[in-house]
Amino acid sequence: MTNKLRPGPLVLVVMDGIGYREAEEGNGFKNAYTPHFDFLWKHCPHLLLKAHGTAVGLPSDDDMGNSEVGHNAIGAGRVYAQGARLVNEALKSGRLFQGKGWRTIVEFCKAHGGALHFIGLLSDGNVHSHIDHLKKMIEHAAFYEGIHKIRVHILLDGRDVGETSALDYVVPFEDFLADLQRRAGGDYKIASGGGRMVITMDRYEANWNMVALGWKTHVAGEGRGFHSAQEAIETYRREIPGVIDQDLPPFVVVDGEGKPVGPIQDGDSVVFFNFRGDRAIEISRAFEEKDFTKFERRPYPKVMYAGMMEYDGDLHIPKLYLVEPPHIELTMGELLCQRGVRQMAIAETQKFGHVTYFWNGNRSGMFDEHLETYIEVPSDIVPFEQRPWMKAAEVTDRLLEEIRGGRHDFIRVNYANGDMVGHTGIYQAALIAGTTVDLCLGRIIPVIEEVNGILIVTADHGNLEEMYELDKKTGKVKYDSSGKPKAKTAHTLNPVPFIIYDPYGIKHGKTIRFNPELKGAGLTNIAATCFKLLGFDPPDFYDPSLILDFE
């Protein structure tokens, strides 16, 4: 590397799962003891970056960011399709039907003579799912895979689409299945259903009874029987004046003898076709976890289960999914190797893949073994709320050793505490996690000053800063019947901090200036910024740098 503008390295700290939120109630980072972060925020150039929704390639700004798309975005330097857009592309190109997830589902079903089941939100709202995705998969299974028995378990929307629009989807869909049955000669039916706020689609572990009722409906085939989904909806609307789709009770479709047409049984395959993760995680856990204790799964058939996507990349839920991560090329790591930049990535096990695999565009291995060093600090195998400090101290020990060693030009480090402890919903642990990350910043700052390097502090998405459920309309914390705040374990829609500390520049009267014309900046702008801080012109196809010329 010949363009280096500072004696020491550029060190990028990712405070995983620590977003920015002004409100204090339930804020596990703001209410933690964070004097070092506060010092940087007060005295250094800083701004807020979008880390969710369209800024990281998700279908809408109602979609939370996550560690996978966050690290993809930082490493790639531009937005790649995620969620609905990614599913659209996978279906159009045929990749979905060639992938491991689909092939495993189909082969298991055929080998055991079982039915293929689809569960998900039946609408074109495109927030959690899209009916067109479902129809394309069913048609492919019928015509190209020779699957003769397909059952669909529909969750009625009424939130992302009109609140009483269910029949606008159900009636044409029942016609679609009937026509497919005539053309392909198979047995294709809706088997069960219910409102999305009544069964199956719980989130944040707010009400596991919803999932238990969904299990009883979809898997056991137990519940009030109707001869069609249309009959069920029309009947409930007559019986419950003013009811909207999301609140419709569950139903089971039965045959002429009153038997359910589609309970899930041994040898069947199941696809949960929602692409958004928050309301897909719990039902996925119910199908996959061997030591599941949230409710009694009766029956618990031996099936092959897959989600449309990997809904939780930290916990790898589900294990099998249909749409692979985006195909990302020419990432920051690859292009910096081409320029001779010596790079290091370090994290504990929980996030090691994020600063390597996901950072490099879902690519295993190194681009150049002579220029790259990857260091994994083994994580403890204990619940995170019991040791919220995790391995942050050990990661920092090794990080400081490598900074002082002078062997690297660019170092990226991930502190997993904010995300992994944030997911526990334990507020006391969250405060400790936030303080832990700040203690590590306090150790890094003087070493950056010692070697005349540059420090960037940022995050990949929010989590720790919003540990309680908030009312969407008022923004106030929700409380349960006992008066306690409702715990939140999911990611957030909040922006993340971005700070640059350049002690060498400060000593020599040099000022870092953010680009005032850059509006709506997000994680993808970080890559070009790093190029400038390392003395290189960023590639034209990257999203613009956050800073103006740097010297």
Pairing state between β 410-415 and 372-377: unpaired
- Residue 137 and residue 73 share a domain: no
CA distance 84 to 100: 19
- Residue 166 pLDDT class (50, 70, 90 cuts): very high
Instruction: Categorize the per-residue pLDDT at 526 as very low, low, confident or very high, splitting at 50, 70 and 90.
Output: very high
**317, part of any domain:** no
CA distance 406 to 249: 64
Q: Are residues 206 and 116 in the same domain?
A: yes
Report the percent of the chain where pLDDT is more than 70. 99
551 or 249: which carries more pLDDT confidence? 249
- Please indicate, yes or no, if residue 117 is contained in any of the structural domains: yes
Q: Is residue 184 part of a domain?
A: yes
Q: What is the pLDDT of residue 1?
A: 61
**Looking at the annotation, which residues are catalytic?**
67
Please answer whether residues 124 and 88 qualify as being in contact, where contact means their C-beta atoms are separated by less than 8 angstroms.
Answer: no
Whether residue 543 lies inside any domain: the answer is no
Count of structural domains, the chain: 2
Calpha distance 23→437 (Å, rounded):
20
More confident residue, 84 or 416: 416
Same domain? For 92 and 127 the reply is: yes
When pLDDT is cut at 50, 70 and 90, the band that residue 309 belongs to is very high
Domain shared by 432 and 334, yes or no: yes
- Final residue before a domain boundary, out of 250, 277, 307: 307
The answer to whether residue 2 is domain-embedded is no
CB atoms within 10 A of CB 91: 19
What does the alpha-carbon distance between residue 201 and residue 180 come to, in Å, rounded to a whole number? 28
Residue 13 makes CB contacts below 8 A (sequence gap 6+) with 413, 415, 441, 444, 455, 456, 457, 458
pLDDT of 64 reads 85
Domain annotation covers residue 163:
yes
Whether residue 76 is found in the same domain as residue 88: no
Whether residue 28 is contained in a domain is answered as: yes
Say whether both 367 and 335 belong to one domain.
Answer: yes
DSSP labels for 103-129?
HHHHHHHHHHT--EEEEEE-SS-SSS-
Question: 322: closest CA among 353, 292, 358, 284?
Answer: 284
One domain for residues 159 and 295: yes
Rounded distance, CA 183 to CA 180, Å?
Answer: 5
Q: What would the mean pLDDT of 478-490 be, rounded to a whole number?
A: 86
d(C-alpha 31, C-alpha 168), whole Å: 48
Give the predicted TM-score (pTM) of the model.
Answer: 0.78
**Mean of all residue pLDDT scores within the chain:** 94
At residue 315, the pLDDT reads: 78
Domain boundary among 246, 274, 307: 307
pLDDT in tens, 36-57: 999 999 999 999 999 999 999 9
Our measurement of the distance from residue 302's CA atom to the centroid of its chain's CA atoms, rounded to an integer in Å, reads: 27
Q: Residue 294: which CATH number?
A: 3.40.1450.10
Looking at the structure, tell me whether residues 177 and 229 fall in a common domain.
Answer: yes
Looking at the structure, tell me whether residues 21 and 166 fall in a common domain: no
Residue 485 belongs to domain spanning: 10-81+326-533
Q: Tens digit of pLDDT for each residue in 2-13?
A: 567 889 999 999
Residues 375 and 300 occupy one common structural domain: no
207 and 263 in one domain? yes
In a domain, 548, yes or no: no
Domain CATH for 425: 3.40.720.10
The verdict on 290 and 206 lying in the same domain is yes
pLDDT of the residue at 522: 98
> What are the angstrom distances between the C-alpha of 324 and each of 56, 81, 95, 316, 453?
16, 11, 9, 13, 38
Q: Using the predicted structure, report yes or no on whether residue 509 has a pLDDT greater than 80.
A: yes
